Chains A and B, each alone.
Chain A
Amino acid sequence: MSIALYGAARTVLEKETLLKLPFVNVMNFGIAGLIVFILPHPLTLVAAAAYFVGSTLEANAIASAIARRKQE
């Protein structure tokens, strides 16, 4: 319940320049926690982990793509 507020607040706060990714990361933490809070079931853990790993992978892809663009 309280987690929902944090996740939402972070989404709003996510208005930064190139350094958005840490805020998105905070939001992902909130959502992964929310998934487990809403559905307390053992399989939910797999869903939360899959979501979180996917989100970090995505953040990594975005950041490295930006890094590669800068090098050129």
Chain B
Amino acid sequence: MDAVGTIKQMKKAIRPEPANWLDEHGDYLYRFAMFRVRQESVAEDLVQETLLAALQVYQKFEGRGSERTWLCGILKHKIIDHYRKTSRTAQIDPETEARLENEDLFRPEGGKWADHWRADFGPVEWQGSPENLLEQSEFRVVLEKCIAFLPERIANAFTLREVEGFTSEEICEVLSVSANNLWVMLHRARKQLRRCIETDWFRLSK
């Protein structure tokens, strides 16, 4: 076979096959979305939107990089659009927010060592390395459950920061909040998540 023929065949081989996208990448994209939006119906819709959008532009995809990375890139944009939309509509749930703020992690005012950690709620020693923990499916279940337990807008801010590594400015733009507002949200997310992981994993596995 001549060189041109080989190249043609190679091109054919790396050309995306829309018919196979769902089988080959569907669950991957779904898991990717689930970790970020935490609701099945939303994740399913995002996968559908991603594949439909990909269908419209796939002639432009020249096989640079993998098909999966390319689809994932489209999905990431769809997820950020979703955050943008929900930041406008998501109600701030005063009850949950108050619970987050007033948790009695610290000793009561007026007493000895007021506003210092309560002995029974103070952080305990965490055993194991991140890599080691992530290999355990039970830990991942606890982690995802604890993130899902956060109020939605706080979980979204936290995900943009820690999963996607966005800067504060970028997150403020997506969620339309001030920098101060964002820091309070991140502080609450970390405080609650830390406590949830400690209670449901580290204190139990001791």
Partners in one complex: no
Interface residues of A (CB under 8 A from B): none
